[in-house]
Structure 1
Amino acid sequence: MSDQAFDRALQERARLFPRPRVAVATLFLLNGFVMGSWAPKIPEFAGRLALSEADLGLMLLAFGVGSVLLMPLAGAQIARLGSNRVVQVATLLFIPTILGVTFAPSIWSGAMAIFLFGGLTGAMDVSMNANAVEVERRMGRSIMSSCHAFWSLGGLLGSSIGGYLIAAAGVSLHAVMVSSTSLALFLIARPMILKDAPHLEEVSTRARLPISPLPWLIGIIALFSMIPEGTILDWGAIYLRDELSADIGLSGLAFAAFSLTMAIMRFMGDWVRDRLGAVRTLRICSVLSFSGLVVAGLAPNVFVALLGFGIAGVGISNMVPIAFSAAGNAPGMAAGVGLSVVTTLGYSGILFAPSLIGFVAEHTSLSIVFTGVSMLNIVVLGLSNLARHADRPVDHVR
């Protein structure tokens, strides 16, 4: 390759992957890695604190409450300070929380540790999504879906190697390794994070819960997109085992089939959005999600159900990233404020809806649950025109 061709290749790579895009993708990877690393620690956490299943449920509820409380606070601070400063503080505070849940010696200290763990991952989530919105604006192209794909990749890495490291090195060394790796990722990303301006003119009027219905309607899109995700995560394996007579090995493939197709499509999602537009992409995704959940809910056997969950993963993959982009670009409010509303509503679908679904399933069946949850996509389809706010490029990264 000639020097000129090499220079052109470097310039093209810099155009497609400017430093701020690399930075925000690294932050998503970091957050997903820590959250994935938490999953194999849960049994040890429950055993160390002698928690019953009910006690563990309350602990996980504390995680959700922490997220819901600190997400709006982070959104207000983004309006005041800009996403760059907030995401740095939130990330630095979030990284050691994995040590807190590892070394908590009592139930009360464990509850405080898991509350902070949930709250600070929520604060980091809002701020890194706000920064991704700013990068999208500067680049004039979609990147949100690929950012969420990096989160899924981080979660896959953390969960897949976490169990092995815990078995080989112990929970304490595992926590130190996770926090050290996360700190290294942050230090790599920090100098490249996009420095966006605060929205000081909007702090006094819009750093509160917005009066405009727009972010709340976009939040419903996120909520109704994430409820199916939480339902498959928490109840897919039980559905395959109890109602379709799957063995242990096959029952574990429900969320695997869903997450595999979701991760693949998230890496492709920005390319699709740039060509079809956010509105058309959301409509196609909601139809696919609806179809996949119906196929899974009415499946006569395990393999048809797995096909349905895979189709649902293709559909759900880009629904939430589009909702986040639309919230960050919603007119008349700071990006962090709109995102805090949408993120809080959306994640409540994963944090709280599955417990309600368990009550419904106890009186009906999970087949009816999955078929019924598919109807939420009809609401998303009806609100899909709001996704036009996701297609609002402003200027370009220099």
Structure 2
Amino acid sequence: MPAPRLAVFAVFLFNGALFLSWAARMPALAAQVGATEATLGLALFGASVGLASTAPFAAKLCARVGARKLILVGAAVTVVAVPSLTLAETPFQLGLVLFVLGSCGASLDVGMNVAAVAVTRSLDRPLMPQFHAGFSVGGLVGSLGAAAAAAVGWGLTRHLVFVAVIGAVVIAWVIRSVPDTTADAGGETSDTVEEDRPVLKRPLLWLLATITLFSAIAEGAASDWSALFFVNERGVSEAAAAAAYAGFSIAMATARLFGESAQRRVGPYRLLAAGAVVAAAGLALAVLVVSPAVGYAGFALVGLGLAFAFPVIMDLAGDAGKRADGTGGEREIGLVTTVAYTGFLLGPPVVGGIAHAGNLSISLGFVACVIALMVPAVLLARRSRARELTRAGAGSTRP
């Protein structure tokens, strides 16, 4: 069996690969169900609703049954639901299947982040950026595989069934090595007084959630609007415009792969603040300098700066909920994840509305300001955590 670290990395890889495999075939799915841009948008909204509505329940379920079982259930339904997309005949049916996939994605996200936190605790290493790099790499593999399948003439059914089978084999191979995160029955329930407080009454968690919200809005803007920005505002071709998000993704994945050393060197809060400065500066550069080359570099800086936001926040949220027996953090990760999904849900229409009233340069400039707001939120979160540890009379064991 693989080591727990490799097993959890494989789950992240699985999640990213299956998600981008069907997302990259969206033009074919839209043609299959006869969707217009409006009805396709409503169908895709089903996935977002599934993500945002399921995350809180997934966190509670994870605390009860453990990350391993939650991942197994989420993965099992995913490998069935992905090929089921090819059975949809109307946009409404497509939306229903996407709702199921969104719910599975929320379960997988909560489960794999809780399992990843367990591995970081057992090894005493800040490995969360590397685990999230697995999702980024999986997404790249899934999208490239979708492009290859379309190029050789594979139909949707053949492609998605093939992906689902490969995914099922991977999960079957690694699932027994995924940490079981259920608490010891006779163990202590808390190592700090804060862990017993309801998560909704902890300012620290709301600050961490706010940081992920801002990061999610920025990531959504980069994925949804970067190509259109380069076509409309910089006058490049559609093929050249696609390179902007590719640069963003590659920079993010590369930064995450080397994230452990960065987090050890500067600490999680400084890394978050510095990343926000880099991302905000990069997006401002892309908006203010009328040069496609500078724009590409700017979006790469956005990917570099945002690379650590979600994984480091998951690490800090899990640490904030750690129990004396070494488990815990499910509720805290669930809250932060739910708020992050809200950012993915609300970000695109907000950015689109500003662009409609003005232009994409103005709307992306607004996103740059949102990213900059992460810096004071990080400083407040650091101060809030210090107050919690002072009241508890104990310090965190994490760097």
- TM-score norm. by structure 1 comes to 0.89
Superposition map of 1:14-29 within 5 A: 19-29=3-13
Residue 206 of structure 1 contacts residue 337 of structure 1 at CA under 8 Å; is this kept in 2?
no
Which residue pairs with 1:372 in the alignment?
366
Counterpart among 260, 264, 274 of residue 264 in structure 2: 274
**3-state DSSP class of the match of 1:113?**
helix
Q: CA deviation at 1:373?
A: 1.1
Q: Which runs of 5+ in 2 are unaligned?
A: 387-394
Residue 83 (structure 2) pairs with residue 93 (structure 1)? no
Superposition map of 1:150-165 within 5 A: 150-165=134-149
Aligned equivalents of 1:285 and 1:294: distance in 2?
Answer: 14
Please tell me the root mean square deviation across aligned C-alpha atoms, in Å.
Answer: 2.4
CA 1:62–1:387 in structure 2 vs 1: closer, same or farther (change >3 Å)?
Answer: farther
Aligned equivalents of 1:294 and 1:382: distance in 2?
Answer: 18
Question: What is the CA deviation profile of residues 327-381 of structure 1, one whole-angstrom value per residue up to 9, with x for unaligned ones?
Answer: 1111478411111111111122223311221111011121122222112233211
**3-state DSSP class of the match of 1:169?**
coil
Which residue pairs with 1:5 in the alignment?
none
Q: CA deviation at 1:198?
A: 3.4
Residue 207 of structure 1 contacts residue 337 of structure 1 at CA under 8 Å; is this kept in 2?
no
Aligned equivalents of 2:203 and 2:382: distance in 1?
Answer: 14
Larger deviation, residues 363-372 vs 313-322: 363-372
Aligned equivalents of 1:299 and 1:236: distance in 2?
Answer: 15
Question: What is the CA deviation profile of residues 191-211 of structure 1, one whole-angstrom value per residue up to 9, with x for unaligned ones?
Answer: 211122238769xx9798633
Residue 82 of structure 1 contacts residue 199 of structure 1 at CA under 8 Å; is this kept in 2?
no
Superposition map of 1:1-398 within 5 A: 19-166=3-150, 167-198=152-183, 210-331=200-321, 334-385=328-379, 386=381, 392-393=396-397
AA aligned opposite 1:102: T
Q: Which runs of 5+ in 1 are unaligned?
A: 1-13
Q: CA deviation at 1:257?
A: 1.4
Residue 136 of structure 1 contacts residue 393 of structure 1 at CA under 8 Å; is this kept in 2?
no
Q: CA deviation at 1:87?
A: 1.7
Residue 226 of structure 1 contacts residue 350 of structure 1 at CA under 8 Å; is this kept in 2?
yes
Aligned equivalents of 1:327 and 1:189: distance in 2?
Answer: 25
AA aligned opposite 1:44: A
**3-state DSSP class of the match of 2:180?**
coil
Aligned equivalents of 2:201 and 2:269: distance in 1?
Answer: 24
**3-state DSSP class of the match of 1:329?**
helix
Residue 137 of structure 1 contacts residue 392 of structure 1 at CA under 8 Å; is this kept in 2?
no
Residue 71 of structure 2 contacts residue 112 of structure 2 at CA under 8 Å; is this kept in 1?
yes
AA aligned opposite 1:257: G
Aligned equivalents of 1:372 and 1:106: distance in 2?
Answer: 36
Question: What is the CA deviation profile of residues 257-315 of structure 1, one whole-angstrom value per residue up to 9, with x for unaligned ones?
Answer: 11111111010111110122111111211110111011011121111111111111111
Aligned equivalents of 2:199 and 2:352: distance in 1?
Answer: 31
Aligned equivalents of 1:242 and 1:198: distance in 2?
Answer: 54
AA aligned opposite 1:341: L
Q: CA deviation at 1:116?
A: 0.1
Question: How much identity, in percent, do the aligned residues show?
Answer: 29
Q: CA deviation at 1:392?
A: 4.6
Q: CA deviation at 1:83?
A: 1.6
CA 1:126–1:207 in structure 2 vs 1: closer, same or farther (change >3 Å)?
Answer: farther
Q: CA deviation at 1:387?
A: 5.6
Q: CA deviation at 1:39?
A: 2.0
Residue 8 of structure 2 contacts residue 112 of structure 2 at CA under 8 Å; is this kept in 1?
yes
Aligned equivalents of 1:22 and 1:319: distance in 2?
Answer: 22
Which residue pairs with 1:8 in the alignment?
none
Aligned equivalents of 2:39 and 2:184: distance in 1?
Answer: 42
- TM-score norm. by structure 2 comes to 0.89
AA aligned opposite 2:172: L
